[in-house]
Homo-oligomer: A and B are copies of this chain.
Amino acid sequence: MTENKIYMDNAAATRLDEAVFEAMTPCYFENYAVATSEFGYSQGLEARETLAEARAAIASVLGADPEEFIFTSGSTESSNLALKGVAKALGTKKGKHIIVSKIEDFPVLQSARALEKQGFEVDYLNVDDYGFVRLDQLESLLRPDTILVSVQHANHEIGTVQDLGTIGRLCSAKNVLFHTDATHTFTRLPLDVRRIKVDLITVSAHTLHGPKGIGGLYVRRGTPLEKIADGGFQEFNLRAGLENIPGAVGFAKAVSLVTEEENARLKDLRDQLIEQVVAKIPLVTLNGDPQKRTPQNANLSFHHVEGESITLHLDMYGIAVSTGSACFSRSLEASHVMMAIGGDHERAHGSIRFTFGRYNTMEEVDLVVETLAKIVENLRKISPLGKQGGV
């Protein structure tokens, strides 16, 4: 069923790399002991060493020490832990004020809303037309009782990369913790905690050809954080639960496979798609910043057409793309990201997100653009929106 399909949606980055699979396999059949059992016997110690190596390898990419990185079940759990764990640690001590951007992904946004129900006060930062958070607004919102700022490294829909250095400095100057959701940038864009003053970083394996069900959270040494998953004392007593060692090993392997050359190649695919679409299809808007965007993301609005119609028609040609965010594509509501960057409903509903991964090729880009041009032309002919727009 899935042969000859072209994935240019989230799944493009989700296909497991064969080398990751090979790295995970021994953890299933040979080195499968429980890491917390090292007290009793040598296989447990071996398992523990395997886990420690995976942890160290991932932490080092962030410029962090192994003790500053914990494994979780994915980026949703990581962001929940970052927001709620800081709230638990500081809510009764320092204050109940939190700042997040309006265009965060759902784990951050919904964790913030859950905290509001518990009596925390949340300010939602505005963004400009390209999706950059308003730094002047951030500065004016920071208060003595602010405990956390959460701004994503790059947006999951429009790819806009935030200025984490400046945000980190603003937070640090006011002694406020800073969390960033780097789910869509980890290994694709540099992020070094020795240079950027960020205290908590959400990462995940599923965006870089690693396994699903494993993610992580960087926690700068000394950061006040209380665990939210109670049980055993795993992960430096910050996250209870049997260690998913195959997942951790697969995550580390996936991280090791990303190269600068690959990121440059993804950027070429992205730019080729954007340039060709703009050249061949009239009335198209690129959403997000042309330069400061993740190498693997393109987001385009096709005016006078529904994104939903485009995705359904592309599907008939075996091409997978997304409209709206993955979490939200079951709903017909307009994307909160598109609305926050000043898009009207038409631009929001006509937006298509392309995600590039290791297995995409330039030939696929050419084929997708060609197919897209045909589809958009046909849809505009029959669209009531098109007729209203006079196209």
Query: Are B43 and A29 in contact, CB atoms less than 8 angstroms apart?
Result: no
Q: Which 7 pairs show the lowest CB-CB distances between chains A and B?
A: A73-B73, A232-B327, A213-B244, A107-B231, A110-B230, A76-B241, A16-B28
Chain B nearest CB from A310 CB (Å) reads 9
In the assembly, what is the distance between CA of A244 and CA of B107, in Å? 16
Name 20 extra pairs, CB < 8 A, besides A11-B33, A73-B241, A76-B232: A5-B43, A9-B40, A9-B41, A10-B37, A11-B34, A11-B37, A21-B25, A43-B320, A73-B73, A74-B244, A76-B229, A76-B240, A77-B229, A79-B231, A113-B230, A204-B242, A206-B242, A213-B246, A213-B247, A232-B328
**Is B44 a contact partner of A320 (Cβ separation < 8 A)?**
yes
A120 in contact (CB, < 8 A): no
Task: Please name the residue on chain B nearest to A240 by beta carbon.
Answer: B76
Judging by beta carbons under 8 Å apart, are A246 and B107 in contact? no
Q: Cβ of A382 < 8 Å from any Cβ of B?
A: no
Partner of A230, one of B29, B107, B204, B230: B107
Whether A70 sits at the interface, judged by CB under 8 Å, is no
14 contacts between A and B (CB under 8 A): A2-B30, A9-B33, A11-B37, A14-B34, A33-B320, A37-B326, A37-B329, A39-B330, A41-B311, A107-B232, A110-B230, A111-B230, A211-B246, A212-B246
Are B241 and A74 within 8 A (Cβ)?
Answer: yes
Interface size class of chain A, counting residues whose CB lies under 8 Å from the partner chain: 35 or more
Cα distance, A136 to B311, chains bound together (Å)? 62
Number of copies: 2
Min Cβ gap A105→B in Å is 8
* A31 located at the interface, meaning its Cβ lies under 8 Å from any Cβ of chain B in the complex: yes
Out of B1, B9, B29, B105, name the residue touching A46 (CB < 8 Å): B1
The digit string for A296-334, where 1 denotes a CB below 8 A from any CB of B, is: 000000000000100110110001111100111111000
Cβ of A199 under 8 Å from chain B: no
Q: Which residues of B contact A271 (CB under 8 A)?
A: none
Residues of B within 8 A of A114 (CB): 230
Residues of B within 8 A of A354 (CB): none
Interface string of A203-242 (1 = CB under 8 A from B): 0101000011110000000000000111111100000111
CA gap between A304 and B19 in the complex, in Å: 50
Candidate in A232, A308, A315 with the most chain B CB atoms within 10 angstroms: A232
Asked whether A38 is an interface residue with its Cβ less than 8 Å from the other chain, the reply is yes
Contact A36 B231 (CB under 8 A): no
Measured CB to CB, the closest approach of chain B to A59, in angstroms, equals 20
